Amino acid sequence: MATTLATLRENLSERLDDWIEGVVDATGTKNSIVDAGLEDEVRQPTEGQFLLFTSGTYDGNIRKISGYTQNNHTIRWEHPLAGNPAATDTFEIHSFHPDDIKAAINYARLSVYPWIYQHLDDTTLVSRANQHKYTLPTTMVGGPFEVRLARWASIDIEEQLLDNAGFESWDSSSAPSDWDSPTNITLAQEDDWVLSDGYSAKGTSTTSAASFYQTVSSHADYAGQRMSLSIWVFCMTASRVKASIYDSAATESSYHQGKGWEQLTVSYTMPASPTALKAGVTVAAGTALTFYLDDAVLWSGQRVADDVGDLLLNWIAHENGVLEFRQSLSSDRPIRLIGMGYLSSVSADTDTMELDDPQTELLYAEAACFLYRRSLAKSPSETQGVYGLLLAYWENEVHKWRSRVGMGVPPTKRNAPGLG
């Protein structure tokens, strides 16, 4: 359910009795075009209207019409184009400037809220141990009406890009197979502190910043792709260890919380011409540190929540955009937020807004009010009565369509507003 800016502009203009479209008959000049099809239009172009090219070399160019000759169907303007429009180029004619029409549509997307809104299902927040407050996404207006704790979709291990990801194979007691030599870290094969299978990698860092990676071959094959890394780390010191994906620089996860085994995750979109692809961990400078690594996974694509999740009730969304929980949540799980947001703004003709008929009627009514309020404010006294009547008509349309197509605000699923 989405409508393009081009369609919104056309339909709004039709409702304002302000819509003419045409096609250039033959090569025009820098200051004029000819379209014999205009002869069949009920309303003819007039001086002071605006011509918008919608295809061809001058697609998007706007010119104010300086004159129209009906007997040869020629539209003229003063400010010349850089060249001549071609035959079959399409155009529209409006009484309102097309940029003002676009501004009206983008204003209306805000003023129709909350009667019409974009349904949001957001899983960008990830739970952390002993963390009670989270920053809400800025797209979610007024906070969520439902919060759930979901789980990650399982990863097909056959699609993962790392070799010896569980550190089961070692070239020597200090060198796991297929991994690069570490920087400022001494490695050792470990069979006590193990997450799964027989071994993990024990790392002891120096006081300097450190790193440990595996280089993925054929990095150019992943140009433009979203890469994601998950690796389990055991550490009892907080704010030192991060998961990292490296191209020409490191993109890192949040810090390990220092409370035992924790799954660190990070995602990175590769550039069009990547210089490398490495995955592993980094350690911030500080005192010497011991940690353990196991079960790393690197794959192409971002982690996604795989289910609806468990409904949470003891939460409150504060006015400053902070979501607070009374209880500590299970670590490293997607927090699913169900809520409402404004419809998307549109700029290019192909941009879409998340609504369709008949909800578009409320948007058109709000946009019309915007345009006629502007006209009323700028018009001379002799025309203000006309604009006043038009504004009153469209304000009545706004109230009518709110009751007919309003989506209704879902009830909030939580306990009493406080956390007590």
Which of the two residues, 250 and 419, has the higher pLDDT score? Answer: 250
The reply to whether omega before 114 is within 30° of 0 (cis) is yes
Tokens 């890009």, located at residue: 161
Q: Report d(CA 45, CA 22) in Å as an integer.
A: 11
Per residue in 107-137, pLDDT tens? 999 999 999 999 999 998 888 878 899 999 9
pLDDT at 305: 83
pLDDT at 328: 86
- Backbone angles phi and psi of 165, in degrees to 5: -70, -20
> What is the arrangement of strands in the sheet containing 315-317, beginning at the earlier edge strand?
133-135, 322-325, 315-317
Which of the two residues, 57 and 128, has the higher pLDDT score? Answer: 57
Please say if the pLDDT value at position 38 is more than 90.
yes
349 Cβ contact partners less than 8 Å away, ≥ 6 residues apart: 4, 5, 6, 9, 54, 60
Average pLDDT over residues 90-96: 96
Average pLDDT over residues 47-63: 97
CATH topology of domain 157-300: Jelly Rolls (2.60.120)
Query: 345 exposed, middle or buried (CB, 10 Å; 0-12, 13-18, 19+)?
Result: middle
pLDDT at 157: 56
> Tokens representing 273?
């011409």
Please say if the pLDDT value at position 51 is more than 60.
yes
Average pLDDT over residues 305-328: 89
Which of the two residues, 307 and 84, has the higher pLDDT score? Answer: 84
Which amino acid type is present at position 352?
T
**418 — pLDDT class (breaks 50, 70, 90):** low
Please say if the pLDDT value at position 48 is more than 90.
yes
pLDDT at 162: 96
CATH 2.40.30-classified regions of the chain: 19-95
**417 — pLDDT class (breaks 50, 70, 90):** low
Per residue in 331-377, pLDDT tens? 878 999 999 999 999 999 999 999 999 999 999 999 999 999 999 98
Per residue in 393-408, pLDDT tens? 999 999 999 999 999 8
Per residue in 251-294, pLDDT tens? 999 999 998 999 899 999 999 999 999 999 999 999 999 999 99
CATH 2.60.120.260-classified regions of the chain: 157-300
Q: 277: how many CB neighbours lie within 10 A of its CB?
A: 25
Please say if the pLDDT value at position 419 is more than 60.
no
- What CATH number does domain 19-95 carry, 1.10.540, 3.40.1350, 2.20.25, 2.40.30? 2.40.30
Q: Which residues pair with 76 in a beta bridge?
A: 32, 67
pLDDT at 158: 58
pLDDT at 401: 97
pLDDT at 5: 97
**303 — pLDDT class (breaks 50, 70, 90):** confident
Please say if the pLDDT value at position 155 is more than 80.
no
- Bridge pairing between strands 175-176 and 170-172: antiparallel
Average pLDDT over residues 315-331: 90
Please say if the pLDDT value at position 326 is more than 90.
no
